[in-house]
Structure 1
Amino acid sequence: MTGIPSLFRGLFDDAAVFPPGDLSLPEAVPAHRVHRAAWYAEAVGPFLCGAARLDELTTLDLAGVQVVLVLPGGVGQLGPALAASRASGVDLVSVEIAATTPVPEVVAALDRLLPDGVTAAVEILRDGGDLARSLDALVGTPYRAKFRTGGLTPQAFPSEAELAAFVSGCAERKLAYKCTAGLHNAVRHTDAATGSEYHGFLNVLLAAGAPERAGELLAERSGKALAAVAGELTDCQIDGIRSSFTAFGTCSIVDPLADLAALGLLEHPLENR
């Protein structure tokens, strides 16, 4: 099992500059380059940066660094961020834009402004109203949905039922999606210090493959049970899972990999020498 199994390739977008990691950009960019050169490089997605920090980002050596701009302010940030990225020569591969206005307005702005070759994910805000209507607005577009799975307070974490509704809603509409925040570990657990109920990224992967059982799979707290299910997936099932759940932002790349190794789903190429 040496190397990165296909279930986890490109799964971990590098969100090191976001809480709770909070690395400075001068620390995070070189660290990203190290990740991209490591034995686990196939697991590592692009580098995520808030649009408000673009000026600072462009003072650094970005050779070989693919950038995703995160736009929490919605469509008002889109045009200026795209113009600034073009002027600076950043290798912009995607934007992630919060639906602070109705999703059809966000889609219209992306259709109008997004350059060829740059993808987008639209964050469906948890307090943004009708989930079904928001997802419906993405059907037939090239844009992924995005959902927030945690944060710095217990209230920032959606319930199993809420996350299951998002996963199954995307499956019904054949929408690809990514997640952000809170998926620090493979398996669902309760944080002893804060009491927050953390979702597991392995739970979400398996729920993506069986959306009719999403609630059950998201609630599972046995790593052994989840690893057993993951170990039985066929190549076709894995392709289906990853065409649905494409990635998530994580402030640590190494910690999720350590979880997978502990579950027997990943092997460090040097650990048995």
Structure 2
Amino acid sequence: MKFPVYIFGIHPHLLFESLAYFIGFRVYLWTRRKERIPVEKALWIVVGAIFGADIGSKAVYWFENPLKTIYEWNRLTYLLEGKTIVGGLLGGLIGVETAKKIIGWEHSTGDDFVFPLIVGMMIGRVGCFLTGLSDHTYGTPTNWITGVDFGDGIKRHPTQLYEIAFLFLLGIVLLRIRTAPSKMLWEGYLFQLFMLGYLSFRLLIDFIKPTPHPYFYLNNIQLACIAGIVYYVQLMFKKRHQFINSIKETGSLYAE
């Protein structure tokens, strides 16, 4: 296989990123719980998610090499060229919460984004893998049977494929939870589990990525993952406490 793998003359990153956005949005429209939020409010939340994700993905990228970012701060091309999924997720969260405040929506909306995100991220990672070395999402050199030569004669961890496999398994687990007969969940529970699972995976997988690790042997993405994990752990403890109290007071097995 010669990288990048063009498909019908289209660069794989452009093709699969476009498909990720298109199909992910269609999955959102198909799977969202329409009785939980009116469509006009849902679209505003999607807009908030998109803008937040775009800003967050670039902001985290700028901290990959802080000295270079300081040196290139006035070069627009550098500031716009990079992005990260972790930054996109965390920035998207901020964008959604901001949009909810603007439109006056107080209920959680995260559960509706779980499966669109998983599908979109899996599709996007296919494009990252087929792009090869120029995408900078591959892993460190390895002798494992999974090693892939991206064109320079060195076998590396195909971390893009590892991520696709992880997201597939995570999606199955979350789907089983969502469709379980027992509805002992609170609003946002699935999204919180998704974020905890994915951030934990990225925290570990980035140890086998050849990116700078200037922050006490951690890189920029791992720092963002740790911040996100701390946030969601404390949030889930808080929600669990509220959920238990709600059961005691109302006897309901589903907390709003």
TM-score band, normalised by shorter chain: under 0.3
TM-score, normalization by structure 2? 0.25
Give the number of the structure whose residues are more often strand, by fraction: 1
In terms of Rg, which structure is larger?
Answer: 2
TM-score, normalization by structure 1? 0.24
